[in-house]
Amino acid sequence: MKTNITPTTTFNVFDVRILRDGTDITETTTDVVVGEPINLSIQVLPAGTSASQIQWSVPGTRVANYVASNSTGTVTALSNLQSSSLTFYWADAGNGRVVSVSGTVNGTAFSRRATFNITAPSPATPTVSLPTNGQLTIDTIGDCSGGPSGPNMVFGNISGPNCTTNVYSGQAGIIFSPPTTGTTSTPPGSFFFVQLITGDTVTYSRTGATLNCTATNTPGLDADYPYQGKTGLSVTDAPTTALPSTYTTASRNFAATMYLMWQSNTSGSIPVPIGSVGWSFSGSTTQSNETWGTPSGSGGSAQPFAAASGIDSFPKWSGLVVLPTNNCN
């Protein structure tokens, strides 16, 4: 007797893979460095099959992007974890970090994973030194625009500048040195600094009159990105305060944060923060018999180096700081 059997079950056969730059990395371990681009996508087989209800899980400090220039420093959080592909960058190191993706294909659930080991340069603490022990001096500073030289209250002890090279001589008030001069080899990359001015106020006074000058667009980038245009080298700062003869007293309160950054040599990498240190100075001087007296006050590192922790450790700004002399009342 012949029996006809009608199938009642439909087999849902499919496979899902995690790809990095088109290469299958499912259930494997990949070595990367902080700031390196991580381009992931899922591949569903057989061809023509698609996934839905996609959800990625990416541990650690990761960002969708970081863009920095003289005009802006902007960090974008990684927020879209429901697409079939994503690009991100790790800002912190860690071994055995598991990235997973889950979803459904034709109503059947799936979950896949890949493991990453992320390295960063270590040790990575800058050296901060105060050549004049945090003291301020009265120095004669030139004017390369053709104006006369004049007395300035200086955090440090400098003279100049050389109007050809725009370089000052003497001792800066503060020096920041990277952990490694030049480039790093493990992993390959370079350190550099970014400085944001967080507050800067100058006050001049004489009998019957007070002039208050305050920096605007703070926190704002100090001069250049990277700071002083240097990569892998020490940087200095010696803020100067002009002392007009028409006033009898002058004071300044200055605060900044210096960020130590590192960028991998890997193509497409973004710079990542290693940490930061806040520093400041305050001082005042009085004019008597047309001579400005030795300043009172001091400055230097206001806090120890703070290692980067989380997305908020990226320096952010919306242009150059506008110095106090441009905003007085």
* Domains in the chain with CATH codes: 15-119 (2.60.40.10), 127-326 (no CATH)
- Alpha-helical runs (H) found in the chain: none
Tens-digit pLDDT profile for residues 257-307: 999 999 999 999 999 999 999 999 999 999 999 999 999 999 998 778 999
pTM across the whole model:
0.92
Separation in Å, CA 279 to CA 135, 176, 257, 258: 14, 11, 6, 8
Q: Tell me the CB-side half-sphere exposure of residue 192, using CA atoms within 13 A.
A: 18
Window from 24-38, 50-64, 163-177 with minimum mean pLDDT: 163-177
Tens-digit pLDDT profile for residues 59-105: 999 999 999 999 999 999 999 999 999 999 999 999 999 999 999 99
Q: Where are the beta strands (DSSP E) in 25-119?
A: 29-33, 37-45, 52-57, 62-68, 73-77, 85-90, 94-105, 108-119
**Other residues' Cβ atoms within 10 Å of the Cβ of residue 149:** 12
Q: Tell me the CB-side half-sphere exposure of residue 67, using CA atoms within 13 A.
A: 7
**Could you tell me the pLDDT band of residue 12, with boundaries at 50, 70 and 90?**
low
Under DSSP, the state recorded for 322 is B
Identify the CA nearest to 262 among candidates 68, 96, 130. Answer: 68
* In the predicted structure, residue 36 carries a pLDDT above the cut 50: yes
pLDDT value, residue 116? 98
Under DSSP, the state recorded for 328 is B
pLDDT value, residue 6? 52
Structure tokens at 178: 């990277």
SS3 of residue 240 by DSSP: strand
* Average pLDDT, integer, range 253-260: 97
Computed over every residue of the chain, the mean pLDDT equals: 93
* Residue 147 burial by Cβ neighbours in a 10 Å radius (0-12, 13-18, 19+): exposed
Residue predicted with more confidence, 246 or 165: 246
Separation in Å, CA 143 to CA 138, 149, 150, 238, 328: 16, 6, 8, 16, 21
Strand partners, 164: none
At residue 326, φ and ψ (nearest 5 deg) are -95, 0
* In the predicted structure, residue 20 carries a pLDDT above the cut 80: yes
* In the predicted structure, residue 215 carries a pLDDT above the cut 70: yes
* Average pLDDT, integer, range 169-179: 96
CB 206, CB 229: distance < 8 Å = no
SS3 of residue 246 by DSSP: coil
**Other residues' Cβ atoms within 10 Å of the Cβ of residue 299:** 24
**DSSP one-letter string for 297-310:** EEEEE-S--EE--S
Structure tokens at 214: 């305050």
Identify the CA nearest to 297 among candidates 173, 158, 150, 170. Answer: 173
Structure tokens at 109: 């659930």
pLDDT value, residue 9? 47
